[in-house]
Structure 1
Amino acid sequence: MRPLPAALAVLSTAALAACSATEAAAPTSAPPSPSPITITGTVSVAGGVSRAGSSECALGGGYRDIAPGTQVVVTDPAGKTIALGKLGGGQWSSRKCVFAFMVREVPPGHQFYGVEVSHRGRLQYPAEQVVKPLSLTLGD
């Protein structure tokens, strides 16, 4: 009956080896998810009127929907809304009314992003382009 202590020694060694292998294979914390991106740009509209004594401008006619606070929608490639922003105040520049926009907290990882101002139609941009300021134009 001497083999019993030897068998226990073998089983103990095997159990310790299994525990060590399990600990080594256990994953560490998940890699951090990519940070959200911010999409910035301008919308330039030919025409408009400058406000006396300032560089601010306003639009009329068929462009009344383009004004400070107008919604800027960012979509994924399927057209699902993933982030919202708005136009800032219009500035008169080279006979155009120029509105800046910024859309924060845009989820990263899409190959393409759609950007739409008001109801003017969605424009698609590749991911590498939306990390640089966009320049959109309405009118001439």
Structure 2
Amino acid sequence: MVVDDDVRVFLETIERPVRRRDAETLLDLMSRVTGEPARMAYRGIIGFGTYHYHYESGRQGDAAAAAFAPRGPSTTIYLPDGVAAHSDALERLGPHTTGVGCLYVKDLAKIDLDVLEQVVAASYATVTAGTFGRRARDGGSSSG
């Protein structure tokens, strides 16, 4: 697993033991699933790989194809293709909450990591296929 120095420095700042443990678990899981090195994508967000988006509005850019952030109340796992695309799998995940493109987990030890790996892998495959162009809130993928 390749982890840049900025990620290691950031991990050392995580005070809550569960968040730090979960961050290490997600580093391994996302590195394995994506084959990409971990890097600081944004402030407090660890990302893996990138994808290009181009919305109907004309806005476009690049974003992390898989990412997570160890936050205070829970760890946020970003699903750029939206949580709705994974609703069946998420029913089997275990305790979690969701936003439009975010999965919130308080303790990875209480969820099914195999299901989480499937969800991350499916999301990553969708956004890196070269055809993803919608926002998570718009649901699904489309040519862009």
Provide TM-score, normalisation by structure 1: 0.26
Going by fraction, where is strand more abundant, 1 or 2?
Answer: 1
More helix by percentage: 2
> Which one has more relative contact order, counting CA pairs under 8 Å at least 6 apart?
1
* TM-score, normalization by structure 2: 0.26
